[in-house]
Structure formats: structure tokens, C-alpha cells
A and B are shown apart, each in its own frame.
Chain A
Amino acid sequence: MPIEVVLLFAWMLVIAFLAFIACTFEDLESDMGSQSNPNSQVQLAAQVGQVNRFFNKAISGEPLSNAMYCVTAGTIAWLLLRQFEPLVPGEEWKAAVLAIPIGVLAATMINMIFSTTAHCGRVAGQKRFQQPIYLDVLYGHLIPIGAHAFMTTLCITCIAYIQSNIGTLSGNPALNHPFALPLLGFIWGITVGAIGSSTGDVHYGAEREFQDRPFGEGKRVVYHGKITRYAECGVRTQKDIAGFCAKFGGPVTGMTFGLIILFENWRSMVGMQLGGFLPALPAFTATGDMAAIFGIVLGLLIVAALMVGNLVFVKWVRKKYGPFVGV
């Protein structure tokens, strides 16, 4: 197999690994700052008399806020790359090593500013329910939120950088993705947020927020707002929650995004290889069409496997757990 093709597959695996890290940290960042759907309960808690020490950060839906951070990071990195790359001809990676972290740092600072205003604004609005703004909660959570957000945005910006240069990196510039770095950051920012919101929230919302309620059942409407306020030791803050969710919810969420990126890139690459498109690249010919057809067929096979997998899994879970026996 030509070295270009091997490199292409190797970079694909690097992207999948980065995606795993990105989404794990994205979920943990939303747990650390209590963003997204389960935050409705933190919001409700004070209103039903449950004064709490939770961090209440609802900047927007996770996809949109992550898209904002990733686009900011991507745009700054892209601008810096254009400035730095002519300075190091032949060794453009040196420009990336400097430009990407600077862009991500700027995005992280924006995240921390938004976290501060969102938390203070939300909790100040709950004054009538006697919910105080605990300053130690505010100060103590900003750095962990920033650290988690930095990891997410860094990984996504790296993915966008690799994908927009994947052809150049593997020796075939025609294979570079047609989208620019900031647009790829936008795409994966939205997707990482959508997955973090739809998968990862469950472990925080359905389990950790209601840990003093019976395990193994959906949380009833009467429980809403009555969140678990006491930790294993002392009063619970988000720091206890992120530690708990890092054991299961975070990695599963990371695996979701990692699998999606892996499947998507894998089926395209294998389709190209099977269609005879690599390494000759005869675009807009029957060979190009064959590469697309192989990619689509492989994708459909993955979908079929997942559907059967879900069918078997649901059947197994229902048999294993049995009907509802509580009251």
C-alpha cells in the first residue's frame, strides 16, 4: 500500500482519538458548569425551596455555545497561521503549534466570561427565593470550567486543522477538505455539543442530580427541582458531580463522538480505497462515483449493524431488568 494511503488512515485514527477526548471533556465541562438540559432542575431547585450550592451556567444550548468557542478559536488560529506560516517555510507545523493554543486560549477566556455573567445573572434573578450567590462557588468553578473547555476546544481545533490539511499532511494536497478551518470548527463544535447534550446529560440529569431517589426508574415529575444537595462529604457542588460523571457518562459520550468520527471517516476512506480512487485521485470520473458508492454501502452496513445491535440490546435490557415493580 502506498505511504500516502497509510498516512491518510493514520491521520484518520488520530482524528478519532482527538474526537474521543474532545467529547469526554465537553460533557464534563457541561457537568462542571451545569449547562444544558439538567440545569433546568438547578434552576427549579431554588424555586421549590431547595437553596443549593450548584453552579448555574446556562449560556445557551451546548451545540451553539461550543460552536461559538470553536469558531472563535478556529478564526484566531487561522488568522495567526496565515501570519506565521510564511515565517517558517517548509515547516508549517511549527506555526500550528503556536497558533492553535493561542486561539483556543482566547476562546476559553470568552467561555469563562460567559460563565461568570450567566451564573451571576441567573442566581441574582433568584433573590426572591432566598438563593444567595456563593462567591467561593463562583471562584472555585471558573478554573475547572476553563480547563475542561480548553481541552474540548483544543481537540476540536486540532481536528479541524488536520482535516483542512489532511491531504497536505499525507502528501496529496488534492485531498484537503474543501471547508476552511473555522467552518470545520463550527461543524464539529455544533456536533460535539449536540452529542454532549443528548448523551452525556443523562448521567448527570437522571442519576447524579437525583441520587437520593430510587435507582433504576425514570425520575418522576414530582421529584423535579428536588435535587440532591448533599455530597458524600459536605454540601454538594459541581466538583463532586464532574468527578462522578467522569467515571461513566463522560467516557461514554466521548466514545459516541469518537465512533461517529471514526465511522464517517473510515467509510469514506475505505470507499475511496475500494473504488480505486486512492492514490491516483481521478475526480469526476466513474472511479470517483464508485468511491462514493462504496462509501454509501459501507455506511448503510454500519447503520444496519447498529439497528440490529439496538434491537438485541433493548430486548436484553428488558429481560434482565424486568417490568417496573416499584410504587
Chain B
Amino acid sequence: MEPVLMILIVGYVVIGGLLASLGAHLLPVGGAPAAMGTATGIATGTVQIMLGAVMTGLFTAASVATFSDSLLLVSLSGAVGATVMMCVVMFMANILYAFGCGIVPVSGRVEVDPITKEPQSPYKTPQTDGHGVPNVVYISGTIGGFLAGFAGALMYYALLNYAHFSAGLAAIVALSIFVANAILAAYNIRGTIEGFHDPKFKRLPKALISSFAVSLLCGIVVVLAATILGGAL
């Protein structure tokens, strides 16, 4: 394998890993408390919602990769796919909170919505940490979905075209690297996060450092696998 290709593979895997970590911190994750309307965000775990979004993006990205060889277009297709998934999920979750449980979307971490300037605390139920998906959280989740989808599709493209993996293997390897980074981010988040306005978002640099280390290792392993096994993949 040419050294340029090796550097490209490792480089794109590292960029993908870092974007995945950043995306995970932007997604509004409420975990189990959100299912009871006790915390703001989406009622599931970080890794689970990220995987769902990236999978959706990867499905479209893989289709696009069969007829376009542009790195940017394949990655953007994945990014938009994941964003559509996140946007629909957050919107429908709000509908369910509002019409199923009579709950108003409200942030528990800020007094005033940083984007729409709507007051938050008068609408909040006492002894809860917010509920539903308010506007600032929705926008943060949209950006997070975009970055996560871009990261997944970028790694898929690099593995497919530079490491010459088959489509199925490239998808599985890209997802595996993605999951490793998402789990690291989940450890850093520790339960719930609302998005870029959450105080926990300040912990991001530590997650980026560990993501860099893990992605670098993954990139080297991919290069070794592609070099040693050659066209057998």
C-alpha cells in the first residue's frame, strides 16, 4: 500500500473519531429520566441514539457511494441522513410529550433559551431537570446529528476507497470505530446532557484527547489489516 493512502486512512479515521466525539456531546441525551419527563432531551442512551442516527446516514451514504466517487458528497449524504433522523425523532418526541403527557418542552440547565430568548424556569415542573426537547436543545441535536453522520460516512468512504474493503466490511468497521468513540463520549457525559449550552459540554477537550488516541490506534489497525490481508477483504 502506498504511504499516501496509509496517511489518508489514518487521517480520515482520526477526523471521523473526533467529529463523532464532538457530535455525541452535542446530542441532547436524557437517558432513563427523560422517559419519565424528569430530564430534558431524548429518552435513551448516548450510544444508542447516535448509532441509530449514524446507521440511517450510512445507509444513504452507501447508496450514494455506488454512483458517486466524491468524498464530500458521500460524507454530506450521510450527514444529512443522520440529521433527518435526529430532527424527526426530536420533533415526534415533542408531539408525544405535548399530546400524550401534557408536558411543555423546557430546559433545566438555563434560565432563558440562548437562541429564542424564551423564559424556561416558569414552565419547569419542580423537582425535575427539565422535560421535552426545547428549541436550543433541538438545534444542538441537529448539529450533533450532522457531525455524527458526517463522521460515520467519512470513515466509510475512506475504508471503502482507500483501504479497499468491501461495502459490508467497510460499514461494520466504520461503525465499530464510531461506537468506540461514542462510548468514550458517553463516559464523559455521565448520564444526561442537553447540548452546547450545558455546563457538561466544557468537559469536551478531555474526550477529544481520548478519542484521538483511540481513533489513531483504530486507523493503524485498519492500515495493518488492509496491508497484510490485501485484496482478501
Q: Does B92 contact A (CB under 8 A)?
A: yes
- B221 contacts chain A at the CB level, 8 A cutoff: no
Q: Which of A187, A249, A303 contacts B55 (CB 8 A)?
A: A187
Q: Tell whether A284 pairs with B68 under 8 Å between CB atoms, given A179-B171, A187-B58, A202-B37.
A: yes
Q: Chain B: how many interface residues by the 8 Å CB criterion? A: 79
**Interface pair A206/B37, CB less than 8 Å apart:** yes
Cβ of A96 under 8 Å from chain B: no
Q: Which of A194, A216, A291: most chain B CB closer than 10 A?
A: A194
The B-contacting residues of A in range 278-327, CB under 8 angstroms, are 281, 283-284, 288-289, 291-293, 295-296, 299-300, 302-303, 306-307, 309-311, 313-315, 317-318, 321, 323-324, 326-327
- Asked whether, in the complex, the Cβ of A218 is within 8 Å of the Cβ of B123, the reply is no
Closest to A248 in B: B100
The answer to whether A326 and B125 have CB atoms under 8 Å apart is yes
Q: Is A138 an interface residue (CB 8 A)?
A: no
Chain B neighbourhood of A198, CB < 8 A: 42-44, 48-49, 52, 89, 93
| A224 CB-CB contact with B under 8 Å | yes
Residue from the list A206, A311, A323 in contact with B101, Cβ < 8 A: A206
Using CB atoms, name the residue of chain A closest to B139.
Answer: A307
| B32:A37 contact, CB within 8 angstroms | yes
B116 to chain A: which residues have CB within 8 Å?
Answer: 311
Chain A residues near B207: list those with CB within 8 A.
none
| A203 CB-CB contact with B under 8 Å | yes
B123 touches which one: A184, A222, A318 (CB < 8 A)?
A318
Q: Which of B96, B142, B168 contacts A183 (CB 8 A)?
A: B168
- Contact check, A63 vs B84: say whether CB atoms are below 8 A apart: no
Q: Give A219 to B131 CA distance when docked, in angstroms.
A: 9
- Give the residues in chain B near A38, CB-CB below 8 Å: 32, 35-36
Q: Which residue of B lies closest to A63 (CB)?
A: B48
**Interchain pairs with CB closer than 8 A, number:** 283
Judged by a CB distance under 8 angstroms, whether A270 is at the interface is no
Which residue of chain B has its CB nearest to the CB of A197?
Answer: B44
Give A182-224 as 1s and 0s: 1 = Cβ < 8 Å from B's Cβ atoms: 0110011011011101111111111101100001111111111
CB-CB under 8 A from A324, the residues of chain B are 104, 122-126
Once the chains bind, are A206 and B103 in contact (CB under 8 Å)?
A: yes
Inter-chain contacts of B100 with A (CB < 8 A): 202-203, 206-207, 248-249, 252
Q: Is B214 part of the binding interface, using a Cβ–Cβ cutoff of 8 Å?
A: no
- Which 5 residue pairs of A and B lie closest in terms of their CB atoms, listed nearest first? A194-B52, A216-B102, A299-B80, A205-B35, A218-B37
B residues apposed to A, CB below 8 Å: 31-32, 34-38, 42-45, 48-49, 51-53, 55-56, 58-60, 62-70, 73-74, 76-77, 80-81, 83-85, 87-105, 116, 118, 122-128, 130-131, 133-135, 138-139, 142, 167-168, 171-172
